[in-house]
Structure 1
Amino acid sequence: MENEEMQRLIERYLSAYNTFDIQGMLDVLDEEIRFLNVARGEVTTETLGIADFRALAEQSVPIFSERRQTIRQIGFTQGGAEVEIDYEATLAVDLPNGMQAGEVLQLRGKSVFQKKGEKLVRIEDHS
């Protein structure tokens, strides 16, 4: 039962993420949500609290014309889950690193989710 609840929370979060539904994402998050983006072992982005998470989510929307996180595999831990993710996104704008609008990003990574009560309290995206 606990694993099913966790999976439903993750699926609701990803569905909202994939459709740029910021409020839908926030609906499954605890007020004290901690989010980390980790690239090549280094934390590149970190937020603490729902207001910081909302701000990051709103900044990210105009960068992509499409984006999709797809679950490849999910493993449950005590109070959480580790999810292998396929990520694909189409850029809507040119980026400072030289990537151009219209280019497609494809990554495989891992997301770690932790739950507190009925909400997600921690999300770590690793690529």
Structure 2
Amino acid sequence: MRSLVDHYIDAYNRMDVDDMLAGVHPDVEFRNISAGVVNASTSGVVELGKLARQSLSLFSERCQRIESFEVQGTLAVASIAFHAVVAGDLPNGLKKGQVLNLSGRSEFEFRDGAISRITDISY
């Protein structure tokens, strides 16, 4: 489990969507939750790939770092430190060059030797 998560996050940090999706299940479910609100969700590897490619232009740089990792059965929970630089002014008020430093957790569920569900939660 840890090696799949490490590979996924490494590819995310390199902005390599194809490599990021290499270890996910074809029926992968994804949700992003910020301040208790689901602001993005996908169903299936094709939809996740589309969302991941759309988000590439949001940041000139981005990095997720695992601060802790815990396995609970088929669930892996990673505490994440996220650092990014906004690439351009965004409709939500973020400005080009603005630095984001967020913390949160990512929950990964597994099926058939692949990541089958990803839930990103930022605080």
Gaps (5+ residues) in structure 2? none
Name the structure 2 match of 1:116: 111
Residue of 87, 92, 97 corresponding to 2:92: 97
How do 1:22-33 residues align onto structure 2 when only pairs under 5 Å count? Answer: 22-33=17-28
Deviation at 1:65, TM superposition (A): 0.7
What's the TM-score, normalizing by structure 1? Answer: 0.94
Q: Which runs of 4+ in 1 moved over 2 A?
A: none
Q: Which amino acid aligns with 1:103?
A: Q
Deviation at 1:97, TM superposition (A): 2.1
Name the structure 1 match of 2:80: 85
Gaps (5+ residues) in structure 1? 1-5
Instruction: Among all aligned residue pairs of Structure 1 and Structure 2, give the percentage whose two residues are the same amino acid.
Output: 37
Secondary structure of the corresponding residue to residue 15 of structure 1: helix
Deviation at 1:83, TM superposition (A): 0.7
How do 1:16-95 residues align onto structure 2 when only pairs under 5 Å count? Answer: 16-95=11-90
Map Cα deviations across residues 31-75 of structure 1 (whole Å, 9 max, x no partner).
000000011112111100011001100100011110000000011
CA distance in 2, matches of 1:118, 1:21: 21
CA distance in 2, matches of 1:48, 1:125: 14
Paired residue total: 122
What's the TM-score, normalizing by structure 2? Answer: 0.96
Q: Which amino acid aligns with 2:49?
A: R
CA distance in 2, matches of 1:60, 1:8: 24
Which stretch has the larger CA shift, 45-54 or 93-102?
Answer: 93-102
Secondary structure of the corresponding residue to residue 20 of structure 2: helix
